[in-house]
Amino acid sequence: MTATPGLGTPRLASPALLRSVFRRHAAGVAVVTAQEGGRPVGFTATSLSSVSAEPPLISFGVGVGGSSWSVISEAEHVGVHILGEHQEALAGVFATSGADRFGAATGWREGPEGVPVLDGVLAWLVCRVVARVPAGDHRIVIAEVVFGDPSGAGRPLLYHQGRFNGLRD
């Protein structure tokens, strides 16, 4: 093994190493929602990915220890919302354990397939869940897009170095 000039000493893999490396990876911020028996749930996700154009598939990771997992694990449909930089506070609410995520401060409505759709987002999708793949302490959810709206205005919210940020010109 040869060392690359300017890089530190390699460390053995660990959860701390993974977190440290991915803090340097800027990611878009999304909120995933679902509903069961009139009870909406949701969480902030930075693991959202486009998987396939034909059929239109997306994926995201969800922790099995999180408060939303019990509903997401059974949901037929989920909502995926791309947040704008004006929604940093909303991202924080959906990322905080025990927060009242669908309280008075959160604008939302029931969308297609009964999925909670958040107000003021840059874009949203309603997707049919097609698979939940075990991945350590998470599940990778793969879902097919069935409805959506890309017409929101603004710039995307990013997550980098443990903080929410906007794009710089």
CB atoms closer than 10 angstroms to residue 55: 9
37-67 residue pLDDT tens = 889 999 999 999 999 999 999 999 999 999 9
pTM of the model: 0.91
CA 8 to chain centroid: 31
130-153 residue pLDDT tens = 999 999 999 999 999 999 999 999
- Residue 124: pLDDT over 90: yes
Structure tokens at 75: 């949901």
Indicate the pLDDT class of residue 22, thresholds 50, 70 and 90. Answer: confident
- Residue 1: pLDDT over 70: no
Nearest CA among 142, 140, 133 for reference residue 57: 142
DSSP annotation string for 121-165: -SEEEEEEEEEEEEETTEEEEEEEEEEEE----S-BEEEETTEEE
Residue range 32-41: mean pLDDT, rounded: 94
Q: How wide is the angle at C-alpha 137 spanned by C-alphas 123 and 46, nearest 5°?
A: 20
67-93 residue pLDDT tens = 999 999 999 999 999 999 999 999 999
Supply φ then ψ for residue 54, to 5 degrees.
-135, 100
Mean of the per-residue pLDDT values for the chain?
A: 93
- Residue 129: pLDDT over 80: yes
At residue 28, the pLDDT reads 95
Cis ω before 55 (30° cut-off from 0): yes
- How many Å apart are CA 106 and CA 97, to the nearest integer? 16
Contact (Cβ atoms closer than 8 angstroms) between residue 32 and residue 62: yes
